[in-house]
Structure formats: structure tokens, C-alpha cells
């Protein structure tokens, strides 16, 4: 059995770092989509009309009940003219929005009823109530959970390889196939994931403690 080839590892590292750039881009933009869309879904879920809440809940349950991999392949098959990276970012964002919407919902529900009553007493309109009073408190309460979902998304970006997005694991597999060095390529990819995600996890824990969670 051959040992770990450090020369192959050094040769693969630049390609993996280029793939990591794509991985990071997909994670950041996917997280932004999930954060914004999830908030919109949470607010829409509290609409007084069932014509709004029922379709929103149905779509959310559908997304949560189907695997991310299936969603990626299905979207790529439907939108063949769209860049794979764009599809990957949007699908990641929508997939995680279904989960972050529940986090936002819990954050909104955690706002004391007295805050709502005070807004009504001050004759604040719905928009002002949400923007100035409810959402600042709700978002603050759920920041650690949102951060944890961002980390989870980062670790699921390898699924993008199935729709030919050249992220880090795609590059590792390609290098391993071209140079018969799968061990070196995938070991390095795993280390990069660890180095990037572990400090972020520690920061999320500190944030949780600071916010009193």
C-alpha cells in the first residue's frame, strides 16, 4: 500500500483552493437567499388570508420533504440554459429558506405580546410595527440558529458537483481521477472544510453565549 504522496497533495492544493472559492461563493450567496426568503416566508405565514398561508405552507413542506440532491438534479433538468452555479445557489437558498422560515417563526413568536399591544396603543401601522419593533427583536433571537444553518449549507455544497458545479469536492474528484491520487485530494478537501467550518462553529457558540441563548 502506497503512503500519502505529499508532492501530489501540493500539486492538488491550488486546484482545491480555486474550488473552495466557488464553494465559499455558493455558501455566502445561498445563505443570503435563505435568510431573506426565509424571513419573507415566515412573515407571509402570519398573513390573515388563507389564500396566502396555505400555498406558502404547502411549498415549504414540499421543499423540506424532498432531498436537496433531488431538487438540484430536477432544477438542472428544467433550467438547462441557466448556469449550474446559479442553479446551485438558488436551490441551496430555497432549500434552506424552508428551514430558516421556521427559525424566524420561532423568533417572532418569542417577542412578548406586550410589544404587539404597545404598537397598537401607539397606532403604529403594520409595516412600522414589523420593521421597528418585531423584526429587530426576532432576528436577534435567531442569529445563532441562522449561523448554524449557514455552516450546514457550507458542508452540503459538495452536492453541487452532481450538476457540474466546479466546487472543491468536484475538483478533488477530478484531480484524483486524472492523477490516481484520490487519497491526497480528498484528504486535503476534508482538511479545508474543517479549517473553514470549525472556527465558524466556535464563533457561533460565542455568539449564543453573548446573546444569552
Query: What pLDDT does residue 174 have?
Result: 94
Whole-Å CA distances, 24 to 65, 77, 133, 156, 192:
26, 24, 33, 11, 11
pLDDT one-digit tens code per residue, 134-193:
888 888 888 888 989 999 999 999 999 999 999 999 999 999 999 989 999 999 999 999
Task: Round to the nearest angstrom and report the end-to-end CA distance of the chain.
Answer: 49
> Are 166 and 32 in contact, with CB atoms under 8 Å apart?
no
Helix H segments across the chain?
6-44, 50-65, 68-78, 84-109, 113-121, 126-129, 135-156, 168-179, 182-210
pLDDT one-digit tens code per residue, 23-52:
999 999 999 999 999 999 999 988 888 898
> Are 163 and 76 in contact, with CB atoms under 8 Å apart?
yes
Domains of the chain: 12-210 (1.10.3720.10)
Query: What pLDDT does residue 213 have?
Result: 53
Residue in the structure block whose three cell numbers are 457540474: 164
pLDDT one-digit tens code per residue, 107-144:
888 888 888 888 888 888 888 888 888 888 888 888 88
CA pair distance 164, 119, nearest whole angstrom: 50
CA pair distance 62, 32, nearest whole angstrom: 21
66 has a pLDDT exceeding 60: yes
CA pair distance 210, 172, nearest whole angstrom: 38
Q: How many residues does the chain have?
A: 213
CA pair distance 157, 67, nearest whole angstrom: 13
> Are 172 and 16 in contact, with CB atoms under 8 Å apart?
yes
Q: Considering Cα of 43, then 46, then 47, then 49, what sign does the dihedral take?
A: positive
Amino acid at each position: 500500500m502506497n503512503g500519502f504522496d505529499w508532492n501530489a497533495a501540493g500539486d492538488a492544493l491550488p486546484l482545491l483552493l480555486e474550488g473552495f472559492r466557488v464553494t465559499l461563493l455558493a455558501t455566502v450567496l445561498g445563505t443570503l437567499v435563505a435568510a431573506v426568503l426565509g424571513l419573507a416566508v415566515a412573515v407571509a405565514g402570519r398573513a390573515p388570508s388563507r389564500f396566502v398561508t396555505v400555498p406558502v405552507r404547502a411549498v415549504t413542506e414540499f421543499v423540506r420533504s424532498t432531498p436537496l440532491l433531488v431538487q438540484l438534479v430536477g432544477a438542472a433538468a428544467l433550467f438547462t440554459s441557466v448556469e449550474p452555479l446559479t442553479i446551485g445557489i438558488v436551490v441551496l437558498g430555497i432549500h434552506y429558506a424552508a428551514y430558516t422560515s421556521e427559525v424566524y417563526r420561532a423568533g417572532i413568536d418569542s417577542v412578548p405580546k406586550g410589544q404587539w399591544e404597545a404598537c397598537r396603543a401607539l397606532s403604529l401601522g403594520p409595516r412600522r410595527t414589523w420593521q421597528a419593533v418585531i423584526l429587530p427583536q426576532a432576528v436577534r433571537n435567531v442569529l445563532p440558529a441562522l449561523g448554524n444553518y449557514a455552516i450546514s449549507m457550507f458542508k452540503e455544497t459538495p452536492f453541487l458537483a452532481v450538476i457540474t458545479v466546479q466546487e472543491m469536492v468536484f475538483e478533488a474528484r477530478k484531480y484524483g481521477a486524472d492523477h490516481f491520487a484520490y487519497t491526497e485530494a480528498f484528504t486535503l478537501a476534508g482538511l479545508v472544510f474543517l479549517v473553514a467550518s470549525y472556527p465558524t462553529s466556535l464563533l457561533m457558540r460565542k455568539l449564543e453565549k453573548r446573546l444569552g441563548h
